[in-house]
Amino acid sequence: MLKRSLLGLAGTLLLIPSTSFAASKAPHDSFYFSASLGLGYLNAHAKGDGDPFVPIDTSASGVPVVGALMVAGTPSPRLILGVGSILSYSPLTWQQSDVIQVEDTTSYFGTLTGPFIDHYFSEAVGVHGRLLAGFATLQPRGGSFAAGYGAALTLGKDWRTSEEWTLGVAATLQYSYTHGGSANTTTWLPAVTVDMNFR
């Protein structure tokens, strides 16, 4: 009886560290959240029929503030699937018409919202790539609201600051094609952001 009790106690003591270690490695409900903020470079070109005598051919460029919010799940430690939105606001944007040779300044607000996939090439190193595609909008102040589609490709590097939080930097190249009024607008927006992630 004593021998059996000692064996049972030893087994219990061996099981406790093993269980604790397994619990420390367990995922936190497979939830992922990311918030980003940075600066980019807006390059947009609008082209269309417009007035029969004055067709639309306008270029715009500026330095927007870029932010992003992502919410997702983690089906595996290195794979993230979810939805997100990238927002950009350029308070001072230079516009130039190639048809009537007019220059002015205005502001631009753009969004890109849709599903994304994010993959960590190495969990230890923290290097990851993300692709987001979906619905895009562009709104110049005093101009026509434009809507269409777009995509954003991101390459980032994270550093773990706690068991669940990471801090990182990322470079994103965003493309969108939108239509509003009588013009189709092609927009390129490269950006660099600082990211805060819960995973």
Q: 98-156, pLDDT tens digit by residue?
A: 666 667 788 999 999 999 999 999 878 999 999 999 999 999 988 789 999 999 999 99
pTM over 0.75: yes
For the chain, give the longest Cα–Cα distance: 103
Q: 1-50, pLDDT tens digit by residue?
A: 434 443 453 444 344 333 332 333 334 458 999 999 999 999 999 998 76
Domains of the chain with CATH codes: 27-198 (2.40.160.20)
70: exposed, middle or buried (C-beta count within 10 Å: 0-12, 13-18, 19+)?
buried
Q: 57-104, pLDDT tens digit by residue?
A: 889 999 999 999 999 999 988 999 999 999 999 998 888 886 666 677
Q: How far apart are CA 83 and CA 85, in angstroms?
A: 7
CB 116 within 8 A of CB 129: no
Q: Which helix (H) or strand (E) is 7 found in, with range?
A: helix 2-25
